[in-house]
């Protein structure tokens, strides 16, 4: 019996059971209605309204500038499209760190105003109080460890995290804590595959990897990267499933040419 095939709607319980049943979890980002509709129709398990919208949608260099209102706007559009997938929304930078009451208010706004099903927060022990407060309000939480892009100015680079034993041990402890306090899943971003495998097998809740090897319980990619719409970003972990960026460029160039040559519209394309 397959847990996800039998599910009409993917819930956090389904995601949790998929791990117990040895079924891999698929997750992709989406930030708008049209893309989310295609992703949902393709049978994805989780749609992440990631704060990578800050880069992909708004053209910022980092994820830091995106606001709570902007995340809610993106989430509302995605929720309208998702008929089957679980919709998880990132709490943006500055809306949950250091103040668990503010964290809860941010999570409540996302749930109430967008209709999303869960929130994701970056970090471990330093945000434990915020996560516990959100969980206590009945809001499901996805954790995020390893390379946490909201801390890019602390790390200085986007290179692999937890290669050294000290950082690996902190990650082991944080992952266990997130699982123990009740997160329904945890993202591992850019950590050694062997560490991800070891920690995944020791945790009750599922792990979802991006640049964290094949032994996580699921995988996530940024939609525009895997479709080849964004082209400047080419890390080793990124498999491109299409070359849409080039195809779009070609199609738009053809349109421009046709307009300039008065070849569009034709007699059949007018009233
Ligand atoms: O914002 C995002 O897209 C993410 C994924 C890379 C996991 O957090």
Which among 239, 197, 237 has a CA at the least distance from the CA of 215?
197
Torsion from C-alpha of 241, 217, 53, 139, nearest 10 degrees? 150
Both 262 and 171 in one domain: the answer is: no
Going by their DSSP bridges, the two strands 46-49 and 25-29 should be labelled as: parallel
- Please, which pLDDT band fits residue 137 given cuts at 50, 70 and 90? very high
Which among 202, 127, 210, 124 has a CA at the least distance from the CA of 167?
124
Beta strands in 12-70 (DSSP E): 25-29, 46-49
| CATH classification at residue 128 | 3.20.20.60
Predicted local distance difference test score (pLDDT) of residue 1:
78
Provide the percentage of residues in the chain whose pLDDT is more than 90.
96
Q: What is the mean pLDDT of residues 249-270?
A: 98
Does residue 189 carry a catalytic annotation?
Answer: yes
User: How many domains, the chain?
Assistant: 2
CA 164 to chain centre: 26
Q: What is the mean pLDDT of residues 192-218?
A: 98
Element (H, E) at 167: helix 165-181
- C-alpha–C-alpha distance, residues 55 and 195, integer Å: 28
List pLDDT tens digits, range 52-79. 999 999 999 999 999 999 999 999 999 9
Q: Which residues line ligand 1 (CB under 6 A)?
A: 29, 48, 50-52, 90, 187, 189, 210, 220, 222
Predicted local distance difference test score (pLDDT) of residue 2:
85
How far, in Å, from the CA of 108 to the mean position of ligand 1?
Answer: 20
List pLDDT tens digits, range 78-88. 999 999 999 99
Angle 205-107-87 from CA coordinates, rounded to 5°: 55
**Domain membership of residue 31 as a residue range:** 3-240
Both 41 and 157 in one domain: the answer is: yes
Both 204 and 263 in one domain: the answer is: no
* Catalytic hit among 167, 189, 246, 269: 189
Both 53 and 165 in one domain: the answer is: yes
3-state SS of 107-121? HHHHHHHHCCCEEEC
Both 149 and 168 in one domain: the answer is: yes
Segment among 3-17, 19-33, 143-157 with least mean pLDDT: 3-17
Both 24 and 94 in one domain: the answer is: yes
List pLDDT tens digits, range 143-187. 999 999 999 999 999 999 999 999 999 999 999 999 999 999 999
With the most atoms of ligand 1 within 8 angstroms of its CB, the residue from 90, 119, 185 to mutate is 90
Predicted local distance difference test score (pLDDT) of residue 4:
74
Both 134 and 236 in one domain: the answer is: yes
Both 187 and 262 in one domain: the answer is: no
Beta strands in the chain (DSSP E): 25-29, 46-49, 86-90, 118-120, 141-146, 185-189, 207-210, 218-221
Q: Is 210 left (phi over 0), alpha (psi -120 to 50) or beta?
A: beta
Both 226 and 263 in one domain: the answer is: no
Protein residue with its CA nearest to atom 2 in ligand 1 = 50
- C-alpha–C-alpha distance, residues 21 and 267, integer Å: 59
Both 210 and 269 in one domain: the answer is: no
Predicted local distance difference test score (pLDDT) of residue 204:
95
Radius of gyration of the chain (CA): 20
Predicted local distance difference test score (pLDDT) of residue 271:
97
List pLDDT tens digits, range 118-128. 999 999 999 99
Backbone angles phi, psi at 73, to 5 degrees: -60, -50
Both 166 and 249 in one domain: the answer is: no
Closest ligand 1 atom, CA of 50? 1
- Please, which pLDDT band fits residue 7 given cuts at 50, 70 and 90? confident
Both 159 and 262 in one domain: the answer is: no
Torsion from C-alpha of 192, 197, 202, 204, nearest 10 degrees? 110
């Amino acid at each position: 019996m397959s847990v996800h095939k039998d599910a009409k709607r993917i819930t956090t319980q389904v995601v949790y059971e998929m791990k117990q049943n040895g079924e891999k979890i698929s997750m992709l980002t989406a930030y708008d209605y049209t893309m989310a509709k295609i992703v949902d129709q393709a049978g994805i398990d989780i749609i992440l309204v990631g704060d990578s919208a800050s880069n992909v949608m708004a053209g910022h260099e980092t994820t830091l500038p995106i606001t709570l209102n902007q995340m809610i706007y993106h989430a509302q559009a995605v929720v309208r499209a998702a008929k089957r997938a679980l919709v998880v929304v990132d709490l943006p930078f500055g809306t949950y760190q250091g103040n668990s009451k503010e964290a809860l208010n941010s999570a409540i706004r996302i749930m109430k105003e967008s209709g999303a099903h869960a929130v994701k927060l970056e970090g471990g022990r330093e945000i434990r109080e915020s996560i516990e407060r959100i969980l206590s309000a009945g809001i499901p939480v996805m954790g995020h460890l390893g390379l946490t892009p909201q801390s890019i100015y602390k790390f200085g680079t986007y290179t692999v995290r937890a290669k050294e034993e000290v950082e690996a041990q902190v990650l082991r402890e944080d992952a266990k804590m997130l699982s123990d306090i009740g997160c329904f899943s945890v993202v591992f971003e850019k950590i050694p595959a062997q560490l991800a495998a070891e920690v995944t097998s020791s945790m009750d809740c599922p792990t979802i990897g991006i640049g964290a090897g094949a032994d996580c319980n699921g995988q996530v990619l940024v939609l525009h990267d895997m479709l080849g719409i964004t082209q400047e970003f080419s890390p080793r972990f990124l498999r491109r499933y299409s070359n849409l960026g080039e195809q779009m460029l070609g199609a738009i160039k053809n349109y421009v040419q046709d307009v300039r040559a008065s070849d569009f519209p034709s007699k059949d394309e007018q009233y």
